[in-house]
Amino acid sequence: MALLPVEEALQRLLKSAQTLGAEDVGLDEAAGRVLAKAVKALRTQPPFPASAMDGYAVRAADIANIPAQLRVIGIAPAGHGFSGTVGAGECVRIFTGAPVPQGADTILIQEDTRVLSQDRIEALASETKGRHVRPAGLDFTLGDAVLEAGRELDAAALSLAAAANHTTLPVVRRPRVAILATGDELVVPGSEPGPDQIIASNSYGVAAIVRQAGADVVDLGIAPDDPAAIRSAIETALAIPADIIVTLGGASVGDHDLVQDVLTEAGMTLDFWKIAMRPGKPLMVGRFGACHVLGLPGNPVSSLVCSHLFLKPLLARLSGRAHRPDMRRGRLAVALGENDQRQDYLRAVCRIVGGELTVTPFARQDSSMLKTLADANCLAIRPPFAPPAEIGAPIDVLLVRDIATD
């Protein structure tokens, strides 16, 4: 199978991915979730004409000529409206949020009054009719669409939903991602590796990317290089059911790379594998019906770079979100040689120097070197067959962490 360009591989991966179904969750669990359906108001807000200020509910006609004296006939704090009617020459002491009494049409703020006695004030300013009165339905009315489907629920959206009297909201279900590491050489952190073994690290980084994308992780552990063990883990993932199965390692076609064959025998439809990229060439993509399969390379840097490029967009599509990678254009701080047929994603540090983004790729880019990935804040992208680039040449970068500023 020929090497697929990165963009074509991503398009094929996302082509058949659909937003997952809906579930109802309480407001206190809905932050960061995506609305599956439009939300309509279950009440009118405000439900009555309300005072926008502390002051006095008056008739505008009574304060047209100032100074004017008014008789205070009652008080209306928030939550306790005045039940009477304001007549000529009368007013009601009122506070923000309280219903405007019958007969009153304007709020005279307290700074524009002078208290003469317990039941009498003097108006020191005129106001236009309706001033400082919030009419009923100023924000929304019963049945109004207040939030559209596809909205990510942030603080303002959740407050609006609560004000519209919703206790639960229909949101897109979180994707369930089953992660399986494979290989006889792997042992869990904290173990004492044998002479030919290493510590398994990939699954922790991939799981972090999944959780940061708002999805749920199911850790299937480590399967040895044994077809029965790999198949058993895949059957567990399908029984959950997982929306995405991520395998780590073993997707190539070497004598000990069993994953692709085991998954195909178990019923996976293979879409493609082998991408024209570095790191991450042996990426595998397939399906078990509605369940997506993403076979990531075993090298730790390769698996995390591929997660940024392929897993994150897939999770966004399933979650109903738009995927907006943070792409920037900077200038090289070092010279680079020509590139071959694969698109390079170089671990690099970008800084803003003198108002310009400068990009410094690390000298060593071996796909086993996690420290350089942890130190990097971007991936510098070099297209296939890119010619040599001098210092100062433009280069595109994908940010993976915040930019350092000198």
What CATH number should be reported for the domain holding residue 114? 2.170.190.11
110 and 246 share a domain? no
182 and 304 share a domain? yes
Cβ within 8 Å of residue 300, ≥6 positions away: 201, 202, 205, 367, 368, 370, 373
Report pLDDT for 252: 61
Say if residue 350's pLDDT is above 70. Answer: yes
For 132, the token pair is 């400082």
For 134, the token pair is 């919030």
Domain enclosing residue 165, as ranges: 22-45+139-172
Report pLDDT for 182: 94
28 and 65 share a domain? no
Report pLDDT for 253: 55
What is the domain-level CATH number for residue 143? 3.90.105.10
Three-state SS at 111? helix
pLDDT tier for residue 255 given thresholds of 50, 70 and 90: very low
pLDDT (tens digit, 9 = 90+) per residue, 161-186?
999 999 999 999 999 999 999 999 99
Is 38 within a domain?
yes
168 and 28 share a domain? yes
Say if residue 406's pLDDT is above 80. Answer: no
Q: Contact at 8 Å (CB) between 48 and 187?
A: no
35 and 73 share a domain? no
If one counts the domains in the chain, the total is 4
Say if residue 251's pLDDT is above 80. Answer: no
What is the domain-level CATH number for residue 13? 3.40.980.10
CB atoms within 10 A of CB 96: 15
* Percentage above 70 pLDDT, the chain: 97
Cα distance between residue 184 and residue 193, in whole Å: 11
205 and 146 share a domain? no
209 and 245 share a domain? yes
Cα distance between residue 357 and residue 378, in whole Å: 12
Name the H helices within 150-306. Answer: 155-163, 202-212, 227-239, 259-265, 300-306
202 and 298 share a domain? yes
Boundary residue ending a domain (117, 134, 151): 134
Cα distance between residue 351 and residue 242, in whole Å: 40
282 and 371 share a domain? no
